[in-house]
Amino acid sequence: GENVEQHPSTLSVQEGDSAVIKCTYSDSASNYFPWYKQELGKGPQLIIDIRSNVGEKKDQRIAVTLNKTAKHFSLHITETQPEDSAVYFCAASKGALDNQGGKLIFGQGTELSVKP
Amino acid sequence: DVKVTQSSRYLVKRTGEKVFLECVQDMDHENMFWYRQDPGLGLRLIYFSYDVKMKEKGDIPEGYSVSREKKERFSLILESASTNQTSMYLCASSLWAVETQYFGPGTRLLVL
C-alpha cells in the first residue's frame, strides 16, 4: 500500500524566513496531495492541495510543488509569521473512495516553530 | 460554517471498559472518518463510512468497531479498552470521496 514519508519532524525558523517541508510517496498512482495545518488544541485544517495534473500551486505565502517522476511534493511557506507555528501534515491519495483506494495516507507530521 | 463536533475533549477509562466516542457533522457530508494520532506516526485511519450503515476498515481497525445509524453521526467503539489505545482520536467528514476533510477538535483518551 501507499506510504508517505515526511521530513523534517521539527523545524525552527526566524520570523520572516522561509520554511520548506518535504514528503515522498510510494504509490505512483496517487494523484491528490493535500497539506493540513494543526494548531494546538485543534483538529487539522486543509491549507492547500495539489493534483497530479499540475506541478505547482500558490496561495499567498504558501505554495506546494509536485514532482511526479521523483514522487515527492513540498510545502513552501515564505515570510513566516509566529501564527504559522503549528504541526503540518502532508497526505497522498489515489482518488475515488472505493475499496480503500482513495483514502488519505498521512505523513508523520512536522512541528514548525517560528521565532519572533 | 462547517462544523464537526466530538462528544468529549478528554476521557479517562479503565482497562477492559467499553468506550464510545461520538462524532457529529452538520454539513450533510456523505463520508466520515475516524483517525488516531500518535507522535511520530501521523494520522492513521481506523475506519471510514461512505454512507449510512456502511463501513470500511482502515489501516488499523483491530480493537475498534464503528456505527453509523444516521448520516450526521459516526461512532467509534472500543469494545474492551486497552492501554495501547491511549491516544488522540480525530473524526473527520467530507462531501466527496477525496476532497477536503473537515476535522473535529479531537478526543484525548487515556486508558489506565
Q: What is the pLDDT of residues A44-95, one digit of tens each?
A: 999 999 988 889 999 999 999 999 999 999 999 999 999 999 999 999 988 6
Is pLDDT above 70 for B61? Answer: yes
For residue B90, what pLDDT band results from cuts at 50, 70 and 90?
very high
Set of chain A residues whose Cβ sits within 8 Å of the Cβ of B57? 100
Max mean pLDDT range (A12-16, B29-33, B48-52):
A12-16
Residue B105 touches chain A, beta carbons under 8 Å:
yes
Mutate to test the interface with B, among A40, A104, A105, A111 (most CBs of B within 10 A): A104
Helix (H) or strand (E) holding B70: strand B65-70
The confidence score (pLDDT) of residue B51 equals 87
Is pLDDT above 50 for A109? Answer: yes
Question: For the purposes of burial, counting CB atoms within 10 Å of the CB of A16, is it exposed (0-12), middle (13-18) or buried (19 or more)?
Answer: exposed
- DSSP per-residue letters across A38-49: E-TTS--EEEEE
The confidence score (pLDDT) of residue A95 equals 66
Q: Which residue has the cell 524566513?
A: A17
What is d(CA A105, CA A94) in angstroms, rounded to the nearest whole number? 10
The confidence score (pLDDT) of residue A101 equals 42
What is d(CA B93, CA A101) in angstroms, rounded to the nearest whole number? 17
Set of chain B residues whose Cβ sits within 8 Å of the Cβ of A107? 42
* CB within 8 Å: B42 and A103: no
Set of chain B residues whose Cβ sits within 8 Å of the Cβ of A98? 97
The confidence score (pLDDT) of residue B105 equals 96
The confidence score (pLDDT) of residue B100 equals 84
Euclidean distance between the first and the last CA atom of chain A, given in angstroms as a whole number: 41
* Residue in B closest to A96 by C-alpha: B97
Set of chain B residues whose Cβ sits within 8 Å of the Cβ of A106? 35, 42-44
C-alpha cell at A27: 504509490
The confidence score (pLDDT) of residue B63 equals 96
Residue B43 touches chain A, beta carbons under 8 Å:
yes
